[in-house]
Amino acid sequence: MNFFEDIEVGQRREIGSFTFTADGIKAFAVKFDPQPFHLDEEAGRKSLFGGLAASGWHVGSVCMKLLVADGQRRASEAAARGEKVAVWGPSPGFRELRWIRPVLAGDTISFIGEIESMRISSSRPQWGILEARNAGTNQKGEPVFSMLSTAFVPRRNAGA
């Protein structure tokens, strides 16, 4: 993972893609969001979604899953090159999350991350705060998901 100083506004990265299966959609919905259009094909078809649709929280959690995998991949690559690996802090949250289109059973969603803003924390100057747009697009190229995530990123020389 990068340090604050390695990051620039406008940097864009492909995070990975994920195929939502009917079984996966239902398994998440049974536990966390058992609305009929997330559990039953027929109810999904009759709903505004037009088919069995993944819970929005499932889509967000999958985005997180891909972000973690991407971060771990990058960290191990950096470690293999003998570089110091930055450990990011816990996220304080996000804003402007949009479920733009339904994610239906069989859809493959590809996610990207793009840095939108960066600043140094005034209360904890050893940390930088960045906002990244995480967005998902389906196999037809249609946007389905977007959110602006906040992250705490360590500065390179802080506490070294």
Partner 1 sequence: MHMDRVEIATKCGHNQASRKMSPIMKSLVFEDFKPGPLGRFGPRHVTAEEIRAFATEFDPQPMHLDEEAASRSLLKGLAGSGWHLCSIIMRMMFDGFIGRTASLGSPGVNELRWLAPFRPGDDITLDVEVTEARVSRSRPTTGIVTLKAVASNASGQALCEMVSPIIVRRRDEAATGEAP
Pick the closer one to partner 1 by CB: 69 or 120: 69
Nearer residue to partner 1 within complex by CB, 10 or 110: 110
Minimum distance, C-beta of residue 124 to partner 1, in the bound complex (Å): 11
- Identity of the residue, 8 or 97, whose beta carbon is nearer to partner 1 in the bound complex: 97
Rounded-to-integer distance, Cα 70 and Cα 62, Å: 12
3-state secondary structure 56-89: HHHHHHHHHHHHHHHHHHHHHHHHHCCCCCCCCC
Which stretch of DSSP H or E encloses residue 129? strand 127-137
Give the Cα separation of 39 and 22 in Å (integer). Answer: 9
The nearest distance, CB 35 to partner 1, in angstroms, is 7
Segment (H or E) for 22:
helix 22-32
Q: Kindly tell me which of 68 and 120 has the beta carbon lying closer to partner 1.
A: 68
- Report, in Å, the least distance between residue 30 CB and partner 1: 9
Q: Among residues 10 and 93, whose Cβ is nearest to partner 1?
A: 93
Binding site for partner 1 (CB under 8 A): 28, 31-37, 39-40, 42-43, 46-49, 55-57, 60-62, 64-65, 68, 72, 89-99, 147
Minimal distance, residue 112 CB to partner 1, in Å: 18
Q: In angstroms, rounded to a whole number, what is the distance separating the alpha carbons of residues 94 and 131?
A: 8
Interhelix angle 56-80/22-32, rounded to 10 degrees, is 110
Cβ of residue 100: shortest distance to partner 1, in angstroms? 8
Cα distance between residue 65 and residue 97, in whole Å: 17
